Structure 1
Amino acid sequence: MSTWLDQVFCEDALAGLHRIPDGSIDLILTDPPYNLGKDYGNASDQQPVDDFLAWTEQWVDAALPKLKENGSLYVFTTWRSAPEIFVMLKRRMTMINEIIWDRRVPSMGGTVRSFTSVHDTIGFFVRRKDYYFNLDAVRIPYDAETKKARSRSIFVGAKWLEQGYNPKDLWSVSRLHRQHAERVDHPTQKPLEIIERMVKASCPPGGVVLDLFMGSGTTAVAARNTGRHFTGFELNPDYCRILAERLDQLAVEPQEPDPKVRPKRPASPPAAGQQGSDPKARAKGRVRAADPGSDPGFLVTPPAAPARKRATRKPKSKVVAAPTSVDSPE
């Protein structure tokens, strides 16, 4: 059994990369320090510019031999360092994309001597032309209105219309606010949505993702969530504990449904005379009526038209079920 697979080592990546065999990694996905003076519990983000660029070149040269020939590399950086880092990488690999992550920073306050920086830059590089890339795994579904607008015969059966569109190279995904359920105690934690997109697109199922600067462990969580293996390094012991806790929470994985077992049929809806008898159900119905989009299984019914009076004939006596105040399921 491998001693490095699905492991995060609490040590400097340059000291520990010897653990990983050459040519064993499908995807290097990493978020190194940007050299902006952040406090990661060490001085890794507080170097002179020349030293920072030399250090970046050092870890790149140490990591690339671990990558398979058809492997890929994604690296986060800032616009301040992206030109130098990308030129250095283009001497070693082929650049496929410069991805802009729009962090959706609100337009409040900020600098008054320049335009406010609201994005991070991500470089996507490969070793050779037959690199692994699965666009279908990360397509974004079209909404119902867009599909309806493309209902002409020329669009019928179009794969892109059914499966969704290419995410393109501008990713508008909100940064993790302190109140976000996903957020942990790390100053530059990246959203899981972004990391999972990279993993699903550029690492085959069952493949291996390497992150040299694990931080809060989002790369490892994304790999485990999507059926990939991971390995990597993190120098700060506090972050090592955080990422270990995040992985422990994923230890009990949900069972995949057995295709041979037929699912149980849903229970029949209550009879008309029984609907609306439960106050909790009535309250739930009011919530759904207020926001029908929150539960597509329920529709909002318009109020019934007032009954017309009959002038001559007297209606026969019969029992009529009280009108329900709960929306009926589709």
Structure 2
Amino acid sequence: MSSSRYLSFDNDTRDQRTHFLWSVMWMQEALRITRHGGWLMVFSDWRQLPLTSDALQVAGWTWRAVVTWDKTEACRPHQGMFRNQSEFILIATHGSIGKEQERPRVFPAGVFRHYLKPSDKMHLTGKPVPLMRHLMTVLPPGSRVLDPFMGSGTTLVAARDLGHIAHGIDLSPDNVRIAADRLGVPIP
């Protein structure tokens, strides 16, 4: 499937150093508005994994885990030596995990295997709803979820399915429209 099917990333023109600094800035702001014990989950491909790990630690988050999304052998071939079959989710918390009653009651698998069919993908970096629900199993019931780069709103759909309160932000009015349509809500 060609990437021309999806909206462009007009604002994604950073080199490695600038991307690192920008990541530290938004992660520090996320830390500021997250309660103690709250979670951060950041997607990264293999090229950005070291940079993303460094940025979340510099921003003040406590790094907890890396979850691998195995996109399966059905994913599109990559120009490199191996198939680009995995994406990584860095998991961090704002300090300790929180009160005993807020600690995860489920310890989800560190590898999630799921192929996202092109027909189900609504954004260039689209994620499957089952993956997002899997990641959110660590959250206490009724959590507040913020996706500052919501794209087509997959995180918001998964959060709603699990009974969480979700908010999303995106620079693209087209992405906001797609997410609003998926959620069946009017655009404010």
| TM-score above 0.5, yes or no | yes
RMSD: 2.3
Paired letter, 2:117: H
Correspondence for 1:197 among 134, 156, 160: 134
Is residue 154 of structure 2 the alignment partner of residue 222 of structure 1?
no
Larger Rg: 1
Is residue 117 of structure 2 the alignment partner of residue 177 of structure 1?
yes
Find the aligned partners of 2:33 and 2:113 in 1 and give their Cα distance.
31
Structure 1 residue 241: deviation in Å?
A: 0.8
Please give the secondary structure, in 2, of the residue aligned with 1:128.
Answer: coil
Please give the secondary structure, in 2, of the residue aligned with 1:69.
Answer: coil
TM-score (norm 2): 0.84
Whether the aligned pair in 2 keeps the contact of 1:216 and 1:242 (CA below 8 Å) is: yes
Is residue 93 of structure 2 the alignment partner of residue 93 of structure 1?
no
Cα distance, 1:232–1:109 mapped onto 2, change above 3 Å: closer
Map 1:90-239; keep pairs closer than 5 Å. 90-91=57-58, 92-106=60-74, 110-111=78-79, 114-131=81-98, 132-136=102-106, 166-174=107-115, 176-179=116-119, 183-202=120-139, 204-239=140-175
Q: Which runs of 5+ in 2 are unaligned?
A: 1-5
Cα distance, 1:59–1:107 mapped onto 2, change above 3 Å: closer
Identify the structure with bigger relative contact order (alpha carbons < 8 Å, sequence gap 6+): 1
* 2:26 equivalent in structure 1: 59
Please give the secondary structure, in 2, of the residue aligned with 1:68.
Answer: coil
Is residue 17 of structure 2 the alignment partner of residue 80 of structure 1?
no
Paired letter, 1:99: V
Structure 1 residue 184: deviation in Å?
A: 4.7
Cα distance, 1:109–1:226 mapped onto 2, change above 3 Å: closer
Map 1:288-327; keep pairs closer than 5 Å. none
Cα distance, 1:170–1:42 mapped onto 2, change above 3 Å: closer
TM-score (norm 1): 0.50
Q: Which runs of 5+ in 1 are unaligned?
A: 1-38, 137-165, 250-330
* 2:10 equivalent in structure 1: 43
Find the aligned partners of 1:119 and 1:85 in 2 and give their Cα distance.
16
Total equivalences in the alignment = 177
Percent of residue pairs bearing the same amino acid type:
29
Is residue 188 of structure 2 the alignment partner of residue 247 of structure 1?
no
Find the aligned partners of 1:199 and 1:170 in 2 and give their Cα distance.
14
Find the aligned partners of 1:109 and 1:60 in 2 and give their Cα distance.
32
* Deviation digits for residues 265-294 of structure 1 (CA, Å, limit 9, x no counterpart): xxxxxxxxxxxxxxxxxxxxxxxxxxxxxx
Runs of 4+ in structure 1 over 4 Å off: 107-110
Whether the aligned pair in 1 keeps the contact of 2:31 and 2:61 (CA below 8 Å) is: no
* Deviation digits for residues 47-97 of structure 1 (CA, Å, limit 9, x no counterpart): 222222211111111221110101111100111111122122223122111
Structure 1 residue 201: deviation in Å?
A: 1.6
Find the aligned partners of 1:108 and 1:68 in 2 and give their Cα distance.
39
Please give the secondary structure, in 2, of the residue aligned with 1:53.
Answer: helix
Please give the secondary structure, in 1, of the residue aligned with 2:37.
Answer: strand
Please give the secondary structure, in 2, of the residue aligned with 1:200.
Answer: helix
Find the aligned partners of 1:222 and 1:80 in 2 and give their Cα distance.
27
